Amino acid sequence: MAAAYNGYTEEKLGWFIQFNAFIITKFTLQNLLMMKSIALIPARLGATRFPEKMLAQIKGKSVIRRTYESTVKTGLFDDVIVVTDSDKIEEEIIKNGGKAVRSKREYDSGTDRIAEVALGLDADVFVNVQGDEPFVQKAPLEKLLNVFEGKIGENIQVASLVQKLQDPESINDPNFVKVVLDLRQFAMYFSRCPIPYLRDKDWPISHYEHIGVYAFRKMPLLNFTQWPMSTLERAEKIECLRFLENGVPIKMVISQYMGIEIDMPEDIAKAEAFMEKMGFE
């Protein structure tokens, strides 16, 4: 005779557990399917260190075209749109089958630029993918989107990516934005200086590089454009400091974001070498 637990036989108890597991799984899948996400790629033509870098060619395709196509290829987004100040960039994307819109005016940051377009769109999460990141990969973007899911995710307003930084030269390079995290992996501060400073050289500590890929709920994204450029943002030239100075926490997602950012003319050769190493076409 089967044992009973609070009036349930083992057979009925097993069925009850399986049924509840099915309901939980179904609910989770519905949540994933219901969350609408849109990738917006800010792309301006002018660049001080590398003019018109978005149109620079990497093995026969422009930087911005490769960024757009890589983002679409992840399959994570309901829509992918390039937001640009340039007729040339808009034409480059559209003639190759993509979506692009012109921003109505000049902006201080890429976040300000995409907020203009996000105002007229409906989505749970907007992801800002930098236009000069031609080798966007699915795994880190998926991890970024995942933090917005479930009950805990409902409270996340802004999130971004970081990766460990181990090269001492890079840690001291102001072109690498560093970030320190609290115990819950929220950003405490961003800086071009080597933070944290190691007064005790023997103390084991990790340095993190901020990867400029952001995800936002709509309201904090729109609020960002209403706040003036903050004091620390102006000093460091790091736009996400505007969120911290206005009391908006930023959840940081640790990833291994292998890729090449196109910042200088010599980065084109690095990108082509990276493509050959990874077997990309």
DSSP 110-137: HHHHHHHHHTT---SEEEE--TT-TT--
Residue 280 pLDDT = 84
Query: 140 near 256, Cβ under 8 Å?
Result: yes
Residue 15 pLDDT = 55
Residue 203 pLDDT = 87
Which residues have CB under 8 Å from 259's CB, separation 6+? 133, 134, 135, 136, 137, 274
Give me the chain's average pLDDT, please: 88
Least confident of 93-107, 140-154, 236-250, 258-272: 258-272
Q: What is the pLDDT of residues 189-215, one digit of tens each?
A: 999 999 999 888 888 899 999 998 999
One-letter identity of residue 20? N
SS3 263: coil
Query: 173 near 236, Cβ under 8 Å?
Result: no
The residue that leads in pLDDT, 216 or 47, is 216
Residue 29 pLDDT = 45
Residue 92 pLDDT = 97
Least confident of 20-24, 222-226, 249-253: 20-24
The H-or-E segment that residue 24 falls in is helix 10-34
Q: Give how far Cα 268 sits from Cα of 62, 169, 187, 240, 274, Å.
A: 10, 21, 31, 27, 10
Residue 83 pLDDT = 97
Encoded tokens for 87 = 């007729």
The residue that leads in pLDDT, 278 or 219, is 219
Inform me whether the pLDDT recorded for 6 exceeds 70. no
| Size of the chain, expressed as the number of residues it contains | 281
pLDDT band at 5 (very low <50, low <70, confident <90, very high): very low
The residue that leads in pLDDT, 12 or 160, is 160
Percentage with pLDDT > 70 across the chain: 88
Q: Where are the alpha helices (DSSP H) in 74-217?
A: 87-95, 110-118, 138-146, 150-153, 168-171
SS3 73: helix
SS3 38: strand
